[in-house]
Amino acid sequence: MSVSPAAADPAPAPGGPRTATYRVQLHPGFTFDDAAAITGYLAALGVSHLYCSPYLQAVPGSTHGYDVTDHGRLNSELGGVPGHRRLTAALTAAGLRQLLDIVPNHMALAGRANAWWWDVLENGRSSRYAGYFDIDWDPPQRKLIGAVLMPVLGDHYGRVLEAGELAVERRGGSLSVRYHEHEAPLSPRSLDDLLARAAARAGSDELTRLAADLGQLPHAILADPAAGAERHAGAERVKARLARLAQAQPAVAAAIDAEIAAVNHDPDALDELLSRQNYRLAFWRAAAEELSYRRFFDIQSLAALRVEDKAVFADTHRLILALAAAGELDGLRIDHVDGLADPEGYLRRLHEAAGGVYLVAEKILEPGEQLPPSWPVAGTTGYDFLNQVSQLFTDPGGEAGLLGCYARFTGEQASYADVVHAAKLQIMAGDLAAEVERLTALLAGVCERHRRLRDYTRSDLRDALRELIASLRVYRTYPRPGQPATSADLAQVGAAVSAAGRRRPDLDPELTGFIGDLLTGTPAGPAESAFMTTFGQVSAPVMAKGAEDTAFYRYLPLASLNEVGGDPGQFGRGVDSFHQAMAAAAAGWPETMLTLSTHDTKRSGDVRARLSLLSQLPGAWELAVDRWASHNQRYKQDGWPDRVMEYLLYQTLAGAWPVSAGRAARYLAKAAREAKVHTSWTSPAAGYDAALESFVRAVLADRVFVAELETFLAEHQLVERGRVTSLAQTALLLTCPGVPDLYQGTEVWDLSLVDPDNRRPVDYPARRALLGRLAGAGPEAALAAADAGGPKIWLIHRVLAHRRAYPEACGPGSGYQPLAVSGAGAGHVVAFSRGGGLAVVVPRLLAGLGDWGDTAVTLPPGRWASVLTGEPVTSGPAQSDICRTGPADRRPEQQGWSGAGTAGRGAGTAVSVAGLLARFPVAVLRREP
Measured at the CA of 514, the angle between CA 513 and CA 517, to 5 degrees, comes to: 90
* Alpha carbon distances (Å) from 459 to 422, 446, 465, 856: 19, 15, 10, 64
Contacts (Cβ under 8 Å, ≥6 apart) of 218? 126, 227, 228, 230, 231, 234
Three-state helix/strand/coil letters over 840-876: EEEECCHHHCCCCCCCEEEECCCCEEECCCCCECCCC
* Alpha carbon distances (Å) from 32 to 67, 72, 658: 18, 17, 32
Q: How many CA atoms lie within 13 A of 808 on its CB side?
A: 4
- 846 vs 836: CA distance, rounded Å: 29
Give the pLDDT confidence score for residue 889 in this predicted structure: 34
Give the pLDDT confidence score for residue 882 in this predicted structure: 57
Q: Exposed, middle or buried: residue 400 (CB in 10 Å: 0-12, 13-18, 19+)?
A: exposed
Give the pLDDT confidence score for residue 892 in this predicted structure: 30
- Beta-sheet pairing, 379-380 with 358-361: parallel
**H or E stretch covering 37:** helix 32-37
**H or E stretch covering 817:** strand 817-818
- Beta-sheet pairing, 856-859 with 909-912: antiparallel
Residue whose C-alpha is closest to residue 666's, from 802, 760, 537, 794 = 760
* Alpha carbon distances (Å) from 92 to 13, 83, 322, 805, 862: 9, 14, 18, 19, 39
> What is the residue type of 289?
E
Eight-state DSSP code of residue 410: H
CB 842 within 8 A of CB 836: no
Regions of the chain where pLDDT drops below 50 = 1-14, 877-878, 887-906
Handedness of CA 27, 31, 35, 37 (dihedral sign): negative
- 838 vs 926: CA distance, rounded Å: 5
Give the pLDDT confidence score for residue 802 in this predicted structure: 96
Please state the pTM of the whole predicted model.
Answer: 0.93
Give the pLDDT confidence score for residue 216 in this predicted structure: 83
Contacts (Cβ under 8 Å, ≥6 apart) of 492? 472, 473, 474, 477
